[in-house]
Amino acid sequence: MKIFLIGMPGSGKSTFGKTLADKLMMDFFDLDKEIERRESLPVQEIFHEKGEEYFRIREQEILREITQQNHSFIMATGGGAPCFHQSMDFMLAEGKVLFLDISLETIFERVQNSTDRPLLALQSSEALLERLGKIREERLSVYNKAHSIIEEKDLTFSYVMDLLLRKES
């Protein structure tokens, strides 16, 4: 089974994805980390030195490469990944796509002190909250195409296992 976790930055894709993969003894890929490894640069440096367009091209290339070379895995994608280069349609065709639909308040709390998210590097809390709201709004129609939408209160191992087993049958 190929499982893709999508959602806003700070929605817990990497943390939850790793836990799920460990419990299920499946391979885990963090798309941002795979990009960083291949580029030998942190994400924010790639944005800074090579630009967002270059990042989006590498992001979708590496997403496709990992998906085609591996039979079964869980992948945490970057928040923007589904929204560029038809990557959402690609993931929907290749496996199960789960949208972690976490509240803006929780996301804000988690990302407000992060220094490694170039799209969210802003001066004030007000500006950050506004930016998060705008990005979420822009992306929601893509995120909502996911096979399953998981709300914050349901983000547990047992809930997600039930969901995956149900979807399998």
Answer yes or no whether residue 42 interacts with ligand S3P by CB under 6 A.
Answer: no
| 142 close to 82: Cβ distance less than 8 angstroms | yes
Q: Give the H/E segment covering residue 100.
A: strand 96-101
Output b/e per residue, 84-122; b: 16+ Cβ within 10 A. bbebbebbeeebbbbbbbbeeeebbebbeeeeebebbee
Q: Which is nearer to ligand S3P, 49 or 162 (CB)?
A: 49
List the beta bridge partners of residue 150: 100
Element spanning 151, H or E:
strand 148-151
CB of 8 or CB of 160, closer to ligand S3P: 8
Instruction: Indicate whether 43 belongs to the interface with ligand S3P (CB under 6 A).
Output: yes
Q: Which residue's CB atom is positioned nearest to ligand S3P?
A: 78
Q: Is 58 in the site for ligand S3P (CB under 6 A)?
A: no
Q: Is 11 annotated as a binding residue?
A: yes
Q: Is 79 in the site for ligand S3P (CB under 6 A)?
A: yes
Which residues of this chain interact with ligand S3P, rule CB under 6 A? 9, 32, 43, 78-80, 117-119
Binding residues for substrate, as ranges, are 32, 56, 79, 139
Q: Binding site for ATP, residues?
A: 10-15, 117
